[in-house]
Amino acid sequence: MSKDAYYFTHDSNAKDDPKCALLIDQLGMEGYGIYWMLIEVLRDQPDYKYPLALLPSLARKYNTTPQKIEAVVRGYQLFAVEGGVVFMSETLVKRMCAWEENKTRRSLAAKKAIESRWNKVKELPLKCERNTNVLQSNYEVILEEKNKEEKNKEINKETSPRSPKGEVDLVSLKDQFEIFRKRYPGTKRGLDTEFNEFVKKYSGHVTEIVPLLLPALENLMRWREQAAKRGEFVPSFANLKTWINQRRWETEYPVESLNTIDDEHKTSVKFD
């Protein structure tokens, strides 16, 4: 399975749910397969919602008919339709919210454990007696790791973009990058990981590129919204690393797609 595949929980007895049982009875296993295809498509979306206008595209892609897909979406209370524009699975949203909360808790617990470990290192004596060789050995290993961490920080400073006065301007650039990173709907990793790889890849040009990222993303999202309203297929966002590595901020979009908004659709709807 691809490392970019998204995770979600799946009950082994989902087929025995009364709604699914009715679906299977009326549409057969094809209907049940369509149901899980839709669940997987929703899981790939940042907000777990998908536009109804793109159901024909899914039908072509997965060798079925728009009528069958729409019947599964609307006919068995397995999905909720919002504003006649997008649909979602309340069960999937509930499960993913719980999963994300657990993931956040585990991350915070790991960070606290690391912080506690380093605090204990600070309390260790610089010198140990001969009868405490084990403590001294452990301390030396931890101290070596700490030294490597400090060395890496120095290397990052040396390769960081600098202002005309020669001062490191990494903080302000990182803040701008974080605004763009949070806005980006696709899969992404932590700020430090994303920014450090970005600086390493485009060293010497970071100060010129960073201000271009957010405007380019806004253009992309406006174009996607207009394409979806026209019933065109709109693929999921690439993960942030791919988007940056392929220099997609340089992509140009048709002017009319970015500036022309149908009056009857001026209410903003987020698709991605």
Tens of pLDDT along 239-248?
Answer: 999 999 999 9
Give the C-alpha separation, 213 to 44, whole Å: 23
Q: What's the domain count of the chain? A: 3
Those residues with Cβ within 8 angstroms of residue 121's Cβ, 6 or more apart along the chain or in another chain:
139, 142, 143, 146
pLDDT, one tens digit per residue, over 96-137 is 888 778 778 888 888 888 877 777 666 655 544 444 555 555
pLDDT, one tens digit per residue, over 126-152 is 544 444 555 555 556 667 777 777 766
pTM over 0.85? The answer is no
- On whether both 184 and 271 belong to a single domain, the answer is yes
- On whether both 189 and 265 belong to a single domain, the answer is yes
- On whether both 220 and 272 belong to a single domain, the answer is yes
- Token pair for residue 67? 């009528």
- On whether both 134 and 82 belong to a single domain, the answer is no
The closest of 82, 96, 86 to 54, measured between CA atoms, is: 86
- On whether both 238 and 259 belong to a single domain, the answer is yes
- On whether both 183 and 249 belong to a single domain, the answer is yes
- On whether both 226 and 179 belong to a single domain, the answer is yes
* 195 inside domain: yes
* Residue 2 pLDDT: 47
- On whether both 271 and 166 belong to a single domain, the answer is yes
Mean pLDDT for the chain? 79
* 119 inside domain: no
> Can you give the residue range of the structural domain that contains 167?
161-272
* 102 inside domain: no
- On whether both 33 and 76 belong to a single domain, the answer is yes
- On whether both 172 and 155 belong to a single domain, the answer is no
Which residue in the block uniquely carries the two structure tokens 């297929």? 233
The closest of 40, 136, 133 to 89, measured between CA atoms, is: 40
* 109 inside domain: no
